[in-house]
Chains A and B, each alone.
Chain A
Amino acid sequence: MSSQTTNPRTTFEYKPGVPAEYEDDPIHGEVMKLNMGPQHPATHGVLQLQLALDGELMRDINPVVGFLHRGKEKTCESLGWAKFFPHTDRLDYVQPLLNNVGYALALEKLADIEVPERGQVIRVVLMEVSRIAAHLIYLGTTGIDLGAVTMFFNTFKEREKIYTILDAYTGHRMNNTYVRIGGVYSDVDETVEGMLREFLEQFEAQVDEFEGLLTGNRIWYDRNRNVGAITKEQALAWSLTGPNLRGTGVEWDLRKSQPYSGYADYDFEVPVGTIGDCYDRYLVRVEEMRQSTKIALQALDRLAKSRGAAVLAEDRRYILPPRQKVQSSMEELIHQFKIVTDLRLPKGEAYSGVESSKGELGFFVASDGTSEPLRCHIRAPGLMNVQVIPLLAEGRLFSDMVALIGSLDFVMGEVDR
């Protein structure tokens, strides 16, 4: 018989030390194993949690990821550079355009392409609108998990407006695939600009309404406050990023600390919390929606000033030539064939991170100079968010788990990739 290795995480031990108030609980001492997920609606995707419960107390928590593993990184290596764009949409599927930009930035760094000004501004608008959409999902789904069904309908109503705008701009509601190496596929026309402005101008009132429904809501308050608090040191040690880190009071936002796509020129604030519990994370996200609105409105003003400028870099090595010329010019036709069938990026490595709604979304790409990527690694912020669940849930009541999962905010498409 081959020697069997035991997984330390699956053989859990009963940890003594019951809090005084549960001492007399007749059920205490009897450990029950419970599988939560992978099809439990409150796990926000296909996350499985193996729990050891002592009465209502969680004693041992083992998050199991990988149910949605589709091998995205390997897919990138076999598909090639440009064809991976639609796959980045499907990582964190609530913010496809943000993922697109993250991947494009890494490729542009590798190939040393300068994105034209207007292309960058459009990207900023798309990223901020995606961030709002992602935070709306957080609010809605966490709300419905904690009993605030109204939130789900209200946030999805707003999200629907965003998707209508994206539909008018990209032709798709989700999975837009509209960012290309060197810019964005098409220009934002005046109709879409008007729709965006109309949405953003009414959105702040909507955020106030969301806050009115939740911030002072006794149930929301009790279930989030002092639940799942993480300290600054722990958050940094577990490499948390995004609102989960900012909730603890660390001011770390890639848009400020390592500006990309011209974020340095926008006027906005980074909201931070104080003690890093679920309530702080909620407040940070709500404030972030307001800041995103502010950034997007500033970007729209810039768009109004630069109408007609290029949105795609003029670089015939990587970017498809205009359709008009493909029909008439032999060189352009050759470019078209070359770029579609054999797009090569220079030899080297590049890493680029963007501030996604969940944290730092990074793409590491390595090229050996051929059309097949040598390596593509995705630093998914959601994975780090899942990792801290045992740390934060240990010894707490089972019902806190739902609030915790909701407030850590991860999307399994990205965690499992």
Chain B
Amino acid sequence: MVIVKRKELSFWERLYLPEVFQGLSITLRAMFRKNVTRQYPEQKLEVNEVTRGQPRLAVNADDTIRCVSCGLCEAACPAYAITIDGQETDRFIEREPERFEIDMLRCILCGFCEEACPKDAILMSDELELADFSREALVYDLEKLKRPVSALQPRLDYIYKLSNRWNSSSSSS
């Protein structure tokens, strides 16, 4: 336990006027310090694979979508932002989304969908900016969400590194 020391003002501090000049000198000194503010639209925040931006759907190199519309991301989403309708497909994965919508106005960029997805199909991109003229335009559909997997590869590698846990023991039932 430490008892904080209550300071008593000295004579000079009580006079107030000298303190004003001391304060001004601090202000003057600060003028020559390095600038810490950012000129935002021109000077963007740096983004990298750690950035959790808006979720996007990965599309394979042969233009097929990875998502199998299992609905796990929909179930994991704490903001109820995702809506999925599935459909059958002839491809090996058998199912794919017919409709996949993320309401970007609801999305809180928590990354739970990415964590839940068993097919590495939904990934947090580094896209952060969000602006449009209507609410409807911000409900992103499949076309707006699709990104080639090459663009999302750094993030994919990163989350694989993160979830590399429990290596010591074998898998239990």
Contact = CB atoms under 8 A, between A and B. Distances in A.
B6 interface: yes
A172 B72 contact: no
Given A85-B78, A160-B36, A311-B165, 15 more contacts: A79-B78, A82-B112, A83-B76, A150-B23, A271-B1, A271-B4, A287-B4, A320-B116, A320-B163, A321-B166, A321-B171, A322-B163, A322-B165, A326-B118, A341-B75
B74 to A, nearest CB: 10
B173 A331 contact: yes
B33 to A, nearest CB: 9
B130 to A, nearest CB: 15
B91 interface: no
Interface string B120-150: 1000100000000000000000000000000
Interface of A: 79, 82-87, 150, 157, 160, 167-172, 175, 177, 185-187, 213, 215-218, 221, 249, 251, 269-274, 279-280, 283-284, 286-287, 310-312, 314, 316, 320-327, 329, 331-333, 336-337, 340-341
Contact of A327 (B19, B111, B118): B118
B1 A84 contact: no
Contacts of A340: 72, 75-76, 116
Nearest to B7: A215
Contacts of A84: 78
Contacts, number: 137
A216 B9 contact: yes
A337 B118 CA distance: 9
A216 B171 contact: no
Interface stretch (B10-18, B56-64, B82-90, B96-104): B10-18
A175 B110 CA distance: 8
B14 A86 contact: no
Contact of A171 (B10, B70, B75, B111): B111
A269 B1 contact: yes
Contacts of A287: 2, 4
A170 B158 CA distance: 12
A208 B76 CA distance: 46
Contacts of B108: 86, 175
B118 A331 contact: no
B13 to A, nearest CB: 5
Contact of B165 (A177, A271, A310): A310
Interface string B25-59: 01100100000100000000100001110000000
A293 B77 CA distance: 35
Given A86-B108, A251-B1, A329 B52 contact: no
Given A172-B109, A284-B4, A323-B163, A217 B19 contact: yes
A12 B52 CA distance: 51
Given A86-B110, A171-B52, A216 B7 contact: yes
Contact of A325 (B19, B26, B79, B171): B171
20 contacts: A85-B78, A86-B110, A150-B30, A168-B50, A172-B52, A172-B109, A215-B7, A216-B9, A216-B10, A271-B4, A274-B3, A279-B6, A312-B165, A314-B165, A322-B165, A323-B160, A324-B163, A324-B164, A331-B173, A340-B76
B139 to A, nearest CB: 20
Task: Name which of A171, A215, A216, A329 has the most chain B CB atoms within 10 A of its CB.
Answer: A171
Contact of A157 (B3, B36, B51, B165): B36
Nearest to A84: B78
A340 B75 CA distance: 7
Contacts of B93: none
B27 to A, nearest CB: 7
Nearest to A192: B50
B84 to A, nearest CB: 14
A323 B171 contact: no
Given A86-B78, A272-B1, A169 B166 contact: no
Given A86-B78, A172-B52, A177 B72 contact: no
Contacts of B162: 185-187
Contacts of B16: 218
